Amino acid sequence: MIVFNNLLLEVSNKSHCLFEEWKYLLLQEKCSLCTRLIHPLINKMDFETYSPPANYLVNNRRIVSDVLCQFCLPVLADCQAVLNSHQYFYQADSNPVICDLKVASGAFFIEPIDSLIYRLKYSEDVLLGKDLACLMYRAWQLLKAEIAKGGRCEEVCLVPVPLHKKRLNERGFNQAEVLAQQLSSILSIKVESKLLCRIRNTASQQKLSKVERARNVVAAFKVVNDEAFVGKKVILVDDVCTSAATLTECAKAMKAGGAEAIHALTVAFVP
C-alpha cells in the first residue's frame, strides 16, 4: 500500500510539472518589470531568458506572483511603508467635529511603483493586484495598531473607493476593488463594495492642485442608506494617496452612514 501511494505521489508530481511546463510555454508571461519570461521550474532555466516567479511570505502564507519575477522582488522589498494622518470636518448634529483619518501606504509613488499602478489601471494588468496587495500588507502592519484601538480587528471591513458608473463602464473594472479583493484573501477581512457609491462623475485628480482636488470631490460620494456602516470599522482601499481629498470625502459619507472608525490603505503615497 505504501509503495502504491508513493507511486501515485510520484505520478502526481510529474503530472503537475508537465502541466506547469506547458502552461508557461503556452502563456509566455513576461515579468512586468524586467520582461524576462516567468517560469517556475528553476532547474530547467536559462536565467538570461527566464526567471522564477516572485514568491512572497505574507501573513504566514506563501503567495506566488503571476506577473513579477524573483529577480525583481528586491525592488518591492526595498519599498518603505509610510503612515500619515489627515484631518477633516464632519457635521454631526449641527456641530462640526474634527476627525482624524490615518492613511497607511505600502510605498512612495516613485519608480517602479508608479509604473506598476499605471499598468494596473490603464493596461488592464489586473494580475498585478496580487503583488501590489502584498506590498500593502506592510502598510497594514503600520495601521493595525490604530484599528485595534477600542475593539478587535475582526470588526473591520474593507471598502474600495468606488468609481462612477460611467468610468466603471469605460474601464471595465475598479482597480481599488481589485486591490481590496486581493487584500481580503490575505487578511481574511470582508469586502463591502456595494455600500458606498460615487454619485458624481468627477474630473481626474491627476493634474489638479490640492485646493482644486478638494473642490473636485465635494459631495461626490454617498452611502446606500443612513445605517449602511453602523458599528463598522472601515478601511478604505485605493491605489494612490496624494492630498487625501478623495479619501476624506469618502470618510465623511461613511460617517453619515454610522461608521465607528475609518482608516485607509493605499499602494502608494505622493509626498
* Beta-bridge partner residues of 265: 104, 237
Q: Are 99 and 255 in contact (CB under 8 A)?
A: yes
Quick one: cell of 98?
Answer: 474634527
Q: Residue 148: what pLDDT?
A: 78
Tell me if 180 sits within 8 A of 130, measured CB to CB: no
Q: Distances from the Cα of 5 to the Cαs of 10, 13, 200, in angstroms?
A: 9, 12, 61
Alpha-carbon distance values, 192 to 68, 136, 223, 265 (Å): 28, 18, 11, 15
Q: Judge whether 217 and 185 are in contact, CB under 8 Å.
A: no
Taking residues 227-248, report their average pLDDT: 94
3-state SS assignment for residue 90 = strand
Local confidence band at 94 (pLDDT 50, 70, 90 cut-offs)? low
pLDDT confidence tier of residue 10, bands split at 50, 70 and 90: low
C-alpha 263/C-alpha 271 separation (Å) is 18
pTM of the model: 0.86
* Three-class HEC string of 193-216: CCCEEECCCCCCCCCCCHHHHHHH
Give the pLDDT band of residue 5 (cuts 50, 70, 90).
Answer: very low
**Distance, C-alpha 134 to centroid of its chain:** 8
Q: Which among 191, 196, 198, 132 has a CA at the least distance from the CA of 167?
A: 198
Q: How does pLDDT run across 163-203, given as a tens digit for each residue?
A: 999 999 999 999 999 999 999 999 999 999 999 999 999 98
Q: Which three cell numbers stand for residue 255?
A: 460617517
pLDDT grade for 162, boundaries at 50, 70 and 90:
very high
pLDDT of residue 75: 87
Cell triple for 69: 519575477
**Residue 115 pLDDT greater than 90, yes or no:** yes
d(CA 105, CA 82): 5
More confident site: 127 or 24: 127
Alpha carbons 205 and 214: distance in angstroms, whole number = 9
Tell me: pLDDT of 8 over 80: no
pLDDT tens digits for range 18-70:
555 555 555 568 898 888 888 776 555 566 778 888 989 898 889 989 899 98
Q: In the structure, what pLDDT confidence band is assigned to residue 266 with cuts at 50, 70 and 90?
A: very high
Q: What is the pLDDT of residue 11?
A: 46
Q: What is the average pLDDT across 123-148?
A: 91
Q: How many CB atoms lie within 10 A of CB 119?
A: 19
Residue among 230, 232, 150 at smallest CA distance from 190 = 232
Q: What is the identity of the amino acid at 140?
A: W
Q: Looking at residues 94-123, what average pLDDT do you find?
A: 91
Mean pLDDT of the chain: 86
pLDDT band at 102 (very low <50, low <70, confident <90, very high): very high
Task: Report residue 110's pLDDT band, with 50, 70 and 90 as the boundaries.
Answer: very high
